Structure 1
Amino acid sequence: MNTKKKNLLLIFTRNPELGKCKTRLASKVGDYAALEVYKFLLEHTVSVTQNLNMEKYVYYSESIWKNDVWDNTVYQKKLQNGNDLGMRMKQAFLDGFDSGFEKIIIIGSDMYDLSQKNLEEAFAKLDEHDYVLGPAEDGGYYLLGMTSFKEELFQNKDWGTDTVLHNTLSDLKNENYFMLKTKNDVDHYEDIKDIPVFQQFLKHIKE
């Protein structure tokens, strides 16, 4: 199996619909600006993943869109399946391992702080480690990778809270894992208000 066939990148994304994405950000900047920010983040995620030499699956939250930023010739498109984020991620990993992939990493689609090089490094770390984890500043994680399936990682988590990283590390305490650099994902106005590239979406905001 060549590298492309061994490595799988899972990208979890929300369908970019008005009023349905980045709701915490929208509470400050409004639904329209939040949607524009999210579309910008999707395009960024495409730019840092499209040239990776591996299989790439995009998992949609609501429905599969045929014609969007995710090129059908680059990404396989699938639908998330499960009652909560843990169940949906678990199913995606299981599908990947069942298909014969040896190294699988999952990311979201709202990380402006992520580069192609970061993702290549994460896959490289799985040569010497069984798990790789990218901690987020808000107490969650922006990346999870593994070479063997571990069900506990997807159970007993209060998803979307600042306890997820701590509880995930507890699950990994007896495992051979690597921690990447902490990064900031985009959930709140404070996450983007001082980053120049986002100013175009925030002109209407009054502090």
Structure 2
Amino acid sequence: MSKSALLLFIKNPIPGKTKTRLAGDVGNEMALKMYHQLTDWTREQALGLDDADRYLYYSNEVTIGDAWSEQDFHKRLQHPGDLGERMLEGFRVAFEEGYDKVIIIGSDCPGIDTAYLNEAFAALSTHDVVVGPALDGGYTLLGMKSLTPSLFKNIAWSTPEVLTSTLARAAAAGKSVKQLAPLSDVDYLADWLSYGWALPEG
């Protein structure tokens, strides 16, 4: 029986330090409200999965009693280091714990719904790696069936070369890759509006 794990990386919501690029468009208070709406969406989509364990990785500290129920999410703290080091450690632990399909996502992509997540897990039945390309050259989702450390090392994170570098590393490691439909993260107000979402009230 396949064991699947979804790893969700979120940032502890801190005014002035959450969605800073978005805050440049709408201000810190509105950016924080928008971030909460994004995490609410991500949580509901994750809860729609029937046969995957869910792990919530906080950026700064694990919060008990927040909107993420401890009955539905195993809560952990992200490993120190850059994004690659943090993701690599998340994958490493999941595979050590016996999972054979592991997918990681963030919390700022309204295009990732339950159907998209199910498609990603299904892709790992026929491919070694699955990736959800981002329109800015990165990716919004990454999944694999076994640990491939080279996908996380010496990558220029937050640049338009992330996806290209990742695909090249996967090919060099002899891994088959399934690419899903490309989506947009919400980094700026235009990204938010492109999904047809209204701004939070207040």
Question: Under a length normalisation based on structure 1, what TM-score does the superposition of the two structures give?
Answer: 0.92
Matched, 1:35 2:25: no
Corresponding residue for 1:103?
A: 101
Per-residue Cα deviation, 1:117-165 (whole angstroms, up to 9, x for no partner) = 1101100110011100100001100000000111110101111111111
Give, in whole Å, the separation in 2 of the partners of 1:102 and 1:134: 19
Could you say what the CA RMSD is over the residues aligned between the two structures, in angstroms? Answer: 1.3
Aligned residues: 199
Q: Which consecutive residues of structure 2, in runs of 5 or more, have no partner in the other structure?
A: none
- Residue aligning to 1:84: 82
| SS of alignment partner, residue 44 of structure 1 | helix
- What percent identity do the matched residue pairs reach? 40
In the alignment, is the contact (CA less than 8 A) between 1:138 and 1:184 conserved in 2?
A: yes
How far, CA to CA, are the matches of 1:195 and 1:122 in structure 2? 21
In structure 1, C-alpha distance between the alignment counterparts of 2:184 and 2:48, rounded to whole Å = 23
Q: Secondary structure at the match of 1:64?
A: coil
Say if 2:34 and 2:200, in contact at 8 Å, map to a contact too: no
Secondary structure at 1:193's aligned position in 2?
helix
Q: CA deviation at 1:194?
A: 4.4
Residue in 2 that maps onto 1:13: 10
User: 3-state SS of the aligned residue for 2:193?
Assistant: coil
Give per-residue Cα distances to partners, 1:44-101, cap 9 Å, x unaligned. 0011001312110000000001011211100000000121000000000000000010
Task: Specify the SS of the correspondent of 2:76.
Answer: strand
CA distance in 2, matches of 1:79, 1:198: 32
Q: Tell me the residue number matched to 2:180.
A: 180
In structure 1, runs of 5+ residues without a counterpart are none
- Normalising to structure 2: TM-score of the pair? 0.94
Structure 2 partner of 1:25: 22
Compute the displacement of 1:193 (Å). Answer: 3.1
